[in-house]
Structures are given as C-alpha cells and as structure tokens.
Amino acid sequence: MKKAFDKRVHPREFHEGELVLKRVLPIQKDYRGKWTPNYEGPFVVKKAFSGGALILTRMDGEELPLPVNSDAVKKFYA
C-alpha cells in the first residue's frame, strides 16, 4: 500500500528567492466567517532547509520570527 501511495506523491521543493503564500494558522474566529482568507502573503523564501523548514521574509525585507514548515505554504505565481 505504501508503494502505491508514494507513486502519487509529488514532493514540493522550495528554493531561495521564490514567492510563497503562508497558511493562516491557527484558525482564528473572524467576523467574516467562511469567507476568511486561508492564506496570507506573498512572502519570499530566505532560506530552505533539507528537513522542509523555511525561513520567510515579507516583501519589504522584514523576517518572520519563526521558521515555517513547507506543508503550510504553497507557491505564489504572479
């Protein structure tokens, strides 16, 4: 079963300088209800580690305080 599952998995790799959107975590109560945005950004990948952790910076160069797991981001296409 693992072999069949792994055939369909496409690993996501992020490189320095790419634009990404970060998932809004944890889910917070908002007056907009189900129309609350799920992603925020775009952010720039400053450094990508081999384990999947990313250090992100805002577009103006301000670095986020904590690293983010690559499962919580997706590529941003402008």
Per the confidence metrics, is the pTM higher than 0.85?
no
Fold annotation for 2-75: SH3 type barrels. (2.30.30)
Expressed in angstroms, the distance from the first to the final Cα of the chain is: 38
pLDDT at 6 over 70: yes
Alpha carbon distance 68, 52 (integer Å):
8
* pLDDT tens by residue, 26-61: 766 777 778 888 899 899 999 999 888 999 999 999
Q: Return the structure tokens found at 43.
A: 């952010």
CB of 71 closer than 8 Å to CB of 58: no
What is residue 37's predicted lDDT score, i.e. its pLDDT? 87
The verdict on whether omega for the bond into residue 42 sits within 30 degrees of 0, i.e. cis, is: yes
pLDDT (0 to 100) of residue 27: 67
